[in-house]
Amino acid sequence: MTCPTVILTARWPKPVEAELMSRYDVTLNHDDHPFSTRELQQALRDFDAVCPTVVDPVTAEVIATEPLRCRILANFGVGLNHIDLEAAQSHGITVTNTPGVLTDCTADLAMTLLLMVARRTGEGERLVRAGNWQGWRPTQLLGTKVSGKTLGIIGMGRIGQAMAKRAAHGFGMNIRYYHPRAVDPAILTGMTAEACDSIDEMLPHCDFVSLHCPGGAGNRHLIDARRLHLMPSHCHLINTARGDVVDTQALIQALKEGRIRGAGFDVYENEPHLSPELTRLENVVLLPHLGSATSETREAMGFRVIQNLDAFFSGQSPPDRVV
């Protein structure tokens, strides 16, 4: 039997690449360059399996390439808003992702952003590194207390729940949340947590708002100028979900005008191309999409992809099949 051919659009952790190469005919992206549209189309023409990441726009145009050889898009990551799922389904391509394994590390990073923006640690580090710190002063870089405050969570899936546990059990925060479906009460044990009927109802009562909802057309600019106006002026916005969930220009204006106090972001619209206006603001913490960036998690994501490929090529339904 001919060994299935697989192409990776990015470098993966070495143990995962080695395991994948022991099972399949694998083509690596040795210089880790971003794939162009033409390269993605070529990959779908030449390989049985294509393994994209969040930075690869697998659009309807890409999927419509002919002749189409690809039978499975085994995504390295959970989010799928970079893949046109309807186009994949219409062309008979299976799509999988890697849920669950990155929950804790992404929630850890969301909490990191919350603490950093509340306590102005990014500003403080820049001050020290620039050699401009002149010693302790009673009024220097006064931030916001985190313990006991109210955290609003939009999206109480795996990562939202993990964030709630960290905030409630670690910092005694009160939780308000919006989720389109009921949340198992057992998950909220030991928390002061309240479900809200709508995002608009929740926002005015929050000291911090953390986004953990899917990206894509349905949630594009979910946080817009109107909703930023609903937040108290002392509120901080945290985004580890997807960049398109927030209207960047509306956020910049709100931060400039003091309509919210600060923001911590790990994801962006049109990343890695950030608005210069955003990077010039001091009351934001900006990280380069590090949510799942630990050796343990990235390896687990890769091995989850292998599980999906193994199931697919053995004629079984992949455990993380989306389409």
What are the residue numbers of the active site?
242, 271, 289
* Token output for 210: 């953390």
Instruction: Yes or no: say if 179 and 134 are a contact pair by the CB < 8 Å rule.
Output: no
Query: What are the DSSP calls for 29-61, one per residue?
Result: -TT-PPPPHHHHHHHHHH-SEEE--TT--B-HH
Q: Which residues pair with 51 in a beta bridge?
A: 8
The residue to which tokens 């916005």 are assigned: 237
Q: Is 13 exposed, middle or buried (0-12, 13-18, 19+ CB in 10 A)?
A: middle
- CA 310, chain centre distance (Å): 26
DSSP secondary structure letters along 291-308: TT-SHHHHHHHHHHHHHH
258 to 185, 206, 276, 280: CA distances (angstroms): 37, 16, 19, 15
Vertex 319: Cα angle to 313 and 320 (nearest 5): 105
